[in-house]
């Protein structure tokens, strides 16, 4: 009996735990051979570019290719946040680029290569592609991946806890140098439009100030908090700021977008905040640290390895059950699934009135309001 073929893709930004998901899928698929049902698992290089390119760039994912990869960062099948097949930048005769919907063509391409289903591992943008593939008739399962933890259908996305641990380790080191030099240290973390990494890091690290997108800050309140710290003799301040944070009278700090990439590139708010503080009369020595992609790389912590591995197993079992158009989720300590349409509809913002924010305030952390 010929083997069934499953395609796996990792899209969007890289994330600790991607390889653990891939390994989980492959190991669970291998168990089916014991029951006489053979599956071949293939990886599409750089998200769906591997299946879209000529020649094809696909690799066989078997026990040998995936052995021990759960402890490795990154993804063995690579990834990209460009070349969205829903709005693919196609070069025209005059040298300009036009965005083209390649989803119907992509579905035909995958089916012509004998793939019966796809497991797409990614964040909200990648799962929007999953939904489009599902609507176009391709059997697809989504797996939630993002360090931002901004998918509302699941309690946690894998990679988030590792990013928080990385940010907290860096913050701990900044506290000691801030103390030694009587400085204001501003540490910028990722998260896009959600402040989860910043909030968790601020609580774990004992920050004086935490600025997140969900709570636009008043620069005068931030300045007041800094001066209070210096007036009582402690003489140093540590601030965590999410890349999507902004002042009440300001806007998000962002750079130019890129061709074939939907999301605007955020970053630089640490320097914006530094200038705002100086303009407001803060006389203390101010330094800025932008962690950037350090939060995405490296070995996933144990929590993310477990979460990602179970997600991989569960994703393949959804394929076996034919529950397509679903995304694996962790909800109330249970591994289950939700429709992709719901997964991409519910953005997971920090609740300004929620338990974590209130607990942070109880610890004396200021949100600049």
Mean pLDDT of 205-209: 97
Per-residue pLDDT tens over the stretch 32-90: 987 778 999 999 999 999 999 999 999 999 999 999 999 999 999 999 988 899 999 98
Residue 41, classed as helix, strand or coil, is: strand
Number of H helices, E strands in the chain: 12, 13
Mean pLDDT of 325-346: 96
Per-residue pLDDT tens over the stretch 105-122: 999 999 999 999 999 999
Residue 27's pLDDT band (boundaries 50, 70, 90)? very high
Q: Does residue 243 surpass a pLDDT of 80?
A: yes
Q: Which CATH code, of 3.30.1490.20, 3.10.20.740, 3.40.50.720, 3.40.50.450, is assigned to 4-158+298-345?
A: 3.40.50.450
Mean pLDDT of 3-20: 96
Residue 36's pLDDT is 74
Q: Does residue 1 surpass a pLDDT of 70?
A: no
Closest of 1, 7, 76 to residue 316, by C-alpha: 7
Residue 144's pLDDT is 96
Residue 265's pLDDT band (boundaries 50, 70, 90)? confident
Instruction: Find out whether 151 and 41 touch, Cβ atoms under 8 Å.
Output: no
- Does residue 172 have an active-site annotation? no
Q: Does residue 333 surpass a pLDDT of 60?
A: yes
Residue 254's pLDDT is 81
Residues of the chain with pLDDT > 70: what percent?
97
Q: Does residue 259 surpass a pLDDT of 70?
A: no
pTM: 0.93
Mean pLDDT of 194-218: 98
The CATH homologous superfamily of the domain defined by 160-296+351-362 = Phosphofructokinase domain (3.40.50.460)
Residue 247's pLDDT is 96
Residue 205: partners with Cβ closer than 8 Å, 6 or more residues away: 168, 171, 172, 175, 238, 240
Mean pLDDT of 179-197: 96
Residue 348's pLDDT band (boundaries 50, 70, 90)? very high
Q: Does residue 215 surpass a pLDDT of 90?
A: yes
Closest of 197, 237, 193 to residue 213, by C-alpha: 193
Residue 300's pLDDT is 97
Residue 322's pLDDT is 97
Residue 257's pLDDT is 56
Per-residue pLDDT tens over the stretch 133-149: 999 999 999 999 999 99
Mean pLDDT of 264-279: 92
Residue 71's pLDDT is 96
Report the DSSP beta bridge partners of residue 143: 121
| Residue range(s) in the chain whose domain bears CATH number 3.40.50.460 | 160-296+351-362
Catalytic residue (one of 148, 232, 304, 346): 148
Q: Does residue 249 surpass a pLDDT of 80?
A: yes
Residue 323's pLDDT is 97
Question: Residue with structure tokens 């995405």?
Answer: 296
Please work out, in degrees rounded to the nearest 5, the angle formed at the alpha carbon of residue 211 by the alpha carbons of 206 and 212: 115
| Residue range(s) in the chain whose domain bears CATH number 3.40.50.450 | 4-158+298-345
Per-residue pLDDT tens over the stretch 216-242: 999 999 999 999 998 766 789 999 999
CA dist 345 and 96 (Å) reads 33
Residue 264's pLDDT band (boundaries 50, 70, 90)? confident
Mean pLDDT of 94-99: 91
DSSP state string for 312-354 = HHHHHHHHHHT--SEEEEEETTEEEEEEHHHHHH-B----TTS
């Amino acid at each position: 009996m010929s083997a069934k073929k499953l395609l796996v893709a990792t899209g969007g930004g890289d994330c600790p735990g991607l390889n653990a998901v891939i390994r989980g899928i492959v190991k669970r698929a291998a168990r089916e051979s014991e029951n006489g049902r053979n599956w071949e698992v293939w990886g599409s290089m750089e998200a769906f570019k591997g299946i879209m390119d000529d020649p094809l760039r696909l690799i066989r994912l078997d026990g040998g290719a995936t052995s021990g990869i759960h402890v490795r960062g990154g993804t063995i099948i690579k990834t990209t946040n460009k070349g969205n097949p829903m709005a693919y930048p196609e070069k025209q005769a005059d040298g300009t680029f036009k965005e083209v919907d390649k989803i119907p063509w992509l579905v035909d391409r995958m089916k012509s290569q004998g793939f019966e289903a796809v497991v797409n591992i990614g964040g909200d943008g990648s799962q929007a592609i999953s939904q489009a593939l599902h609507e176009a008739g391709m059997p697809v399962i989504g797996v939630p991946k993002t360090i931002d933890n901004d998918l509302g259908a699941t309690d946690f996305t894998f990679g988030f806890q590792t990013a928080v641990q990385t940010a907290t380790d860096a913050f701990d080191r900044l506290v000691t140098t801030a103390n030694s030099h009587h400085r204001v240290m501003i540490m910028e973390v990722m998260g896009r439009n959600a402040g989860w990494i910043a909030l968790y890091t601020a609580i774990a690290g004992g920050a004086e100030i935490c600025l997140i997108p969900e709570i636009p800050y008043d620069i005068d309140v931030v300045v007041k908090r800094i001066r209070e710290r210096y007036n009582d003799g402690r003489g140093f301040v540590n601030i965590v700021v999410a890349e999507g944070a902004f002042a009440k009278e300001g806007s998000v700090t962002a750079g130019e977008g890129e061709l074939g990439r939907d999301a605007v590139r955020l970053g630089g708010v640490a320097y914006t905040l530094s200038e705002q503080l100086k303009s407001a009369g803060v006389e203390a020595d101010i330094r800025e640290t932008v962690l950037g992609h350090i939060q995405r790389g490296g070995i996933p912590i144990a929590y993310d390895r477990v979460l990602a591995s179970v997600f991989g197993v569960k994703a393949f079992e959804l394929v076996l059950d034919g529950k397509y158009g679903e995304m694996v989720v962790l909800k109330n300590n249970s591994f289950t699934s939700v429709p992709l349409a719901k997964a991409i509809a519910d953005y997971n913002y920090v609740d300004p009135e929620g338990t974590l924010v209130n607990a942070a305030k109880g610890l004396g952390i200021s949100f600049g309001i």
